[in-house]
Structure formats: C-alpha cells, structure tokens
Amino acid sequence: MKKLIILASAALLTLAACNKIDAPAELIVPEDGVAPALQLNFTVSLGDADTKAVKTAVEEGDKVYVFFDSTIPSRDQYLTLTYTSGAWTGSWKGGLENDLAKKTSGTLAAIYIPFADDTEISINPLTNSPSSITRGTVWFINPTKDSKAVYSYFRSCVGTAYSIANNTVTATLHLGSPAGYDFVHIFVPGLTSVDGRYTMKTDPELKGANVVAYKPGEGFIAEEADNFPGYAYGGSVCFSGFLPSGLAGTSADYKFKLYDNGGSPDDGADDNAFIYTVSGKSLSAKSAIALPQTSSWKSMAYGEDATLRAIPMCELNGQTLYFANINLGATELVDRPGCYGSKYQWAGTTAYPYDKYYEDFAVEGAYGNYYHAPYYLYDSYSFKKGYTKYVSVQAAAFGEDPSYVDNKEVLDPEDDAATVVLGAPWRIPTGEEWQALIDNCQWTFDTPNNGWKIVGRGAYSGSVMFLPMTGERQGEGDEYFFTDVAFYQASTMECLDLYHDDLGGFWMYVHGNGRYNPYSVRAVRTTPL
C-alpha cells in the first residue's frame, strides 16, 4: 500500500505521506553469519496535517528511527527506516533483531527528522544526558551537518504497539508533533551564505529543539535552546522553534534575528546578522511565517537597535573606556539622519539639530573682543557675555575678565552635555581618550553607512562601534551639507576631526576646538553600564 497526500495553503505546503514496506527490509547479517528471519511490515504515516512543514512529501533518503520497548538493554540498538525509490526499507542496528525474535508483541517509539539524507545522525546511548534531560539511560539523537546542528524539528510517536508473527514485525507509525511541542515554522527566501549555515533567535523567545533524546518510558525530550538552526530548502531557509508555555495566542512585537555563516546569536554586534520586526503578531501551534528577503531586514553589524549600550573599546591608564554605541540625541544606529543625533557647543548643554547651517559673522563680546560664530549659537550660548569659567591667564590678557581666571581645561559635570543628558558617570571624552581610541583600535570606513567602523584589539577584539560622518552645513539647502566630515566634542577644549572622501583620502586626529562650534557628542565612561 502506498498513499500520497499533498495539501497547499498560501504557498506553504503540508507534508503528508503514508507508505508501507511491502518487500522484506534490508537486514544486517550478525557476526555468526546467520541472517535473522524477521521481516518488516510497517506503515509510516506523516499525513496528519498538524503542521505546515516545508516539504511537499516524503523524499528520497528520509529516515525514521525506531526504538523498541523500554526493556531492551541499554546498548546501541535501534531500527532505521529509509525512504528509497518510493518505499521504506529497514536496517537493524546492534543485534536488535535477535532480541525481538524472542518476543511476540510490545511497544515502540519512533522519530522522524527532516533532511536526514543530507545530515549526519548520531544516535548513542548515554548515561550523562544533556542538562535539561533527566539523567539516566537515554538515546541521544543529534542531527548535524559538518559537525553543526541543523533544522530543529521532529515528529514522533510513542507507545505504538507492534506484533511479531510468522517472523514478521508489524506496526503502524503515525508520526506527529510530539506532546508539549507546539512547533512554529519560519521561512526566509533568497538567502545566500558562504557555507549555507543560518541560525535564528527571536524575541519574545521561541525555543529550539536542537538536541533530542529518547528516554524509555518517557518518550522524546528536547534539549531547549534559545536559538535554532536553519536548513536551505526550495529556495528558502526554513527554521523551526516551539512556543514556550504561555506564549501561544499572545499578541507581541516579534523580533526575528538572523545570523549568517555561523554568527553567534547574542545581543551584541555581528557583521553577519540581521533583524526584522513583525508588530502585533500572535503565534499558535502549527503557525507558519513567511518573512521577506533580508534586503528588507536591518543589519546588526553594530548591535540590535539604538538602545543605549556601553561598549568596552580600549584602555587608557589602566582603565577600560566604555564608549556609547550611539551619538547623543540619536535615534538610530546607522540609518541617516537618525544616527546623527544633536550637536553641542563646548560647555553648552543646549542641543542643536544636525541640519542647522552655519551663518558665520563677527559678534562683539562683553569685553570688546570678537567671536567668529553663527548668530543663533552665539545668542543662546551660556558664555555669550564673556566667560565666567574656563578662563586662563592668557585669555585674561586678551580681554576676558581676570576675576574669573580659574585655569580650568576640562568641563565640569554641569557643563558636560553627556553628563547632563545621560547622567553620571557618562561624560564627553577627553582629547586623550579620543586619541586612545585612534591608537588602539582598527578603523575601517563603512561606505554604505557613511561612517567609521571601529573594532577593538586584543582583549577588546569582540567590541565594535560606529561613528557616523555627521557632516557640516555651511549654507541653506542640501547642496551645502557636506557629509565627508565629522567633528566630535572633547571635554578638554579639543575635538575629534574625521574626514573621508570618495577617492579614499581620510584623516582622524584630535586638535583644538573653537568653543562656539557645535559638534557631535559620543559619550564615554570607565565602568560598565
């Protein structure tokens, strides 16, 4: 008997097939050279339509692994059914057929894992089982490809009766979703990768059944993981996770995080990672989600989103410098103009949008001295009528009130925009700290995002941050907005000056700063967030 059912819904096809072994299975000859007389009369059904799987039917090379009775000794014994040329054939393992020949009936458990024809399946009896599986004798079932886990989905049956008569083992296997595992399938089309490997993580978190074990008397148990591997199939990469208790039917904004080429699923930055958000999504058992191509996803090269983080980038004088991952006032990591943030004058705590243009002209100060500054900046600058702080003896000689001489060269917290906006211990970096970032990190220009990718070295090699070229506007209209430059404030009357042009010319250095100039702010601290 052979029956094939194919169901289609919204281009996501349901796996359905019922196949019976009509011919004797391929039997392994034991060491004594005498072939066992047992033959197989199995019907295998995967057609209960309880999930939207990626396959359209049972395919060549698919396998089902069968374990007989909880009383079978704890050694490497099981039956493998392989779909070949339109029929299932069987192969015994570990002399199991000799033990079964002494029985007339019993119960069995079986598991189907997709893509077994293209993966390595290791099945071993273990006494030290994975952490989430009760210790004891278990069969550890691990599908891998190139020693890495693959598609985390399986179907099974437990407690299925079998009988033995006339030297024939008879059983009907109805393989469905295991009890307690409400699988959800996710499809991402058009993916390409160096080695075709992908991992996914979601928030709220779906669990991955990356490790499966069979414990006699208890059935199949999954080792839960917070990420799950994918498998390239039919022009898409498919993933499968199961819904934790309480998540089914709950509307949420789901973030799907895709890691390419063996990327590490974490919340940090990853060159080969992407994120896509689906708002107000409610998932239930048997859900199938078709996501768009990754061209519609956001890169996570510099992190997951614009939530403020402190990135350990380098050391200075024995202290770790933790730089903010975004500019002060920014709403995006890399997307323009949201990543630019606001600009601040030195010792000023009033933010100016990045797109204000600089209409320079001379402004007379309180003591007859002139400042070359944009009018709108001078009018609101806290020291527009003369400096009452940060006055040196030299400045007094050039017209500043000598009664205010304090020789301060570093911003006080109340005049530090980063401290005022974010709170201590965040602050504007000193010129020396900017120089440490230049000297101790690898700088590469990120042309698509128009900014500098900065990667730590040594103990900080896993750290990465992005400094956008926030530009300078020197007139009205976009034609006067120059995006090949960026200036970042330093708390020491200095600034970080960045430049990069289309011909590959660039510089990055620290130099003195005119106090009126509104520059971008990237905060720093010396303790973790």
Per-residue tokens: 167: 């030297």
Answer yes or no: are the C-beta atoms of 90 and 81 closer than 8 Å.
yes
Return the pLDDT at 131. Answer: 52
Over the stretch 469-502, which tens digit does the pLDDT of each residue have? Answer: 988 765 555 554 677 899 999 999 999 999 998 8
Nearest to 440 by CA among 323, 310, 294: 323
Over the stretch 73-116, which tens digit does the pLDDT of each residue have? Answer: 456 788 999 989 888 889 888 888 888 888 899 999 999 888 87
Q: What is the number of other CB atoms lying within 10 angstroms of the CB of residue 159?
A: 9
- HSE-CB of 309 using CA atoms within 13 angstroms: 19
- Of residues 229 and 428, more confidently modeled: 428
Please state which of the ranges 13-27, 129-143, 196-210 shows the lowest mean pLDDT. 13-27
Residue 273's pLDDT band (cuts 50, 70, 90): confident
Residue 9's pLDDT band (cuts 50, 70, 90): very low
Over the stretch 170-183, which tens digit does the pLDDT of each residue have? Answer: 999 998 888 778 88
**Residue 144 φ then ψ, to 5°:** -135, 160
496 CB-near residues (< 8 Å, 6+ apart): 429, 431, 434, 487, 488, 490, 508, 509, 510
Query: Is a pLDDT exceeding 90 seen at residue 49?
Result: no
Residue 17's pLDDT band (cuts 50, 70, 90): very low
Size of the chain, expressed as the number of residues it contains: 529
Domain ranges (residues) in the chain: 2-298, 310-358+414-525
**421 SS3 class:** helix
The residue with tokens 């189907």 is 112
Strand partners, 144: 120, 149
CA distances to 355, 464, 498 from 451, rounded to whole Å, are 17, 13, 9
- Of residues 515 and 275, more confidently modeled: 275
